[in-house]
Structures are given as C-alpha cells and as structure tokens.
A and B are shown apart, each in its own frame.
Chain A
Amino acid sequence: DAKTTQPTSMDCAEGRAANLPCNHSTISGNEYVYWYRQIHSQGPQYIIHGLKNNETNEMASLIITEDRKSSTLILPHATLRDTAVYYCIVRVGPRGSGAGSYQLTFGKGTKLSVIP
C-alpha cells in the first residue's frame, strides 16, 4: 500500500472549516483513500473514503486532486468534539476472491486541536 504524509499537528478555530491535507504521491490506480479519526482513549472512527471523485457525507468532505497524489479532508464547521488524531490511509481494493487482508496501515496522523 502507498505511504502517506500528513502534518504532525494543526489548530483550527471553533466554527471554522478544518482542512487536513494528505500527500500520497505513490498511490496506484486501484488504491482508495480512507480517513479515520481517533478521539482520545477511543477506537478509530471511520470518516470517509474515496477513489477518484470528491466525496461528501454527514461528517466531512474529501477532495482528491485530479492526479490523485494528494487529498484534503474538510470538516466544514469544526467543533470542540472534533479534536482528535486524523489518519489518512491509502489501501488497495480487493485483489480477488479471498486474497489479501486489506488491513489498514496507520501512520502517526495529524493531531487536530479545535480551539474555542
């Protein structure tokens, strides 16, 4: 699976949009971009994923560049409860029936602090 690069930490004012970047310059055509977050002392929480197109759900938006070498997770109106470590993960899709474990390879992520 391709490696990702994220800033170690970021601050965001409460109520403003939080834009979290991720570089994945070695991504291949069948690899998805996943975002998870981990609030202190909890298990990781799935946020969103995408392959080529931009995606939006009730939690966030994911913007993937046309060359797919980078992406940005957008939390449109950050709240204090969004303070967490955010992980960008690139992972290949299924290789065939029963093949591959599809485990997630976590880096150190970005520590987002939402400030009142």
Chain B
Amino acid sequence: DTGVSQDPRHKITKRGQNVTFRCDPISEHNRLYWYRQTLGQGPEFLTYFQNEAQLEKSRLLSDRFSAERPKGSFSTLEIQRTEQGDSAMYLCASAWYSQVDTQYFGPGTRLTVL
C-alpha cells in the first residue's frame, strides 16, 4: 500500500497525559500537513512541513502542541498535558510540491481524552 498511514488509529488517554501520533506520508512526497477535525466540522489546518523544515506552525492550537519531521520522511504530532477539548480526529496529508499541490490524506488518529 503506497498511501498515507497513521498510527495509532485510536487513542484513549486520561486528561493531563502526553500523547504522540505518527504519520508516514507517500514516499516521494516532500510536503506533509497536519489537520484536526472535531465532530460535525471540516478539518482544520494545524501545521506543515516541506522536507524536514516546519514552514508554518502559527496555527498550532497552543504551545502544548508540537510537531516534528526529523529526516523529512515520517512526522510526529505531540500533545502535552492533554485536555478534554483535545478530543478529535487528527489527520495527516502529504503532497508533492508542485503547481497543484494535491494533498492525499491518511485515515486519521481518533483521540479521546477522558
């Protein structure tokens, strides 16, 4: 399968715990995006990388959120000191930098904070 993969698919955690999600993009794609989706809403952009450089992070929801893409391949999204309001679907998408920049999404990680 050459699509975008995310791990885990589901995560249940207690308030105050830290969680980390992983995204493996399509292998030749150099751009990687993170989005968050709450119930009944469309996905909301969080941050993106071009290769290993994080070029936009102002939309990260708070300083509890951070993302890395250390070697320009897979990426991780970490949420520290989780809150109940962090419960959502976290989506990753990848793209090849081009005129069109079509993004392909993974299946998402559903986070539930108790």
Contacts and interface: CB of A to CB of B under 8 A. Distances in A.
Interface of B: 4, 31, 33, 35, 40-45, 48, 50, 55-56, 59, 91, 93, 95, 97-108
28 contacts: A32-B100, A42-B107, A43-B4, A43-B106, A43-B108, A44-B93, A49-B100, A49-B102, A85-B42, A87-B42, A94-B98, A94-B101, A98-B55, A101-B33, A101-B45, A101-B56, A102-B31, A102-B95, A103-B35, A103-B48, A103-B56, A104-B33, A104-B45, A105-B45, A106-B44, A107-B42, A108-B41, A109-B42
A104 B91 CA distance: 12
In the A-B complex, the 6 residue pairs with the smallest Cβ-Cβ separation, listed nearest first, are A106-B42, A43-B105, A103-B45, A101-B56, A44-B105, A102-B101
Interface in A60-116: 85, 87, 93-94, 98, 101-109
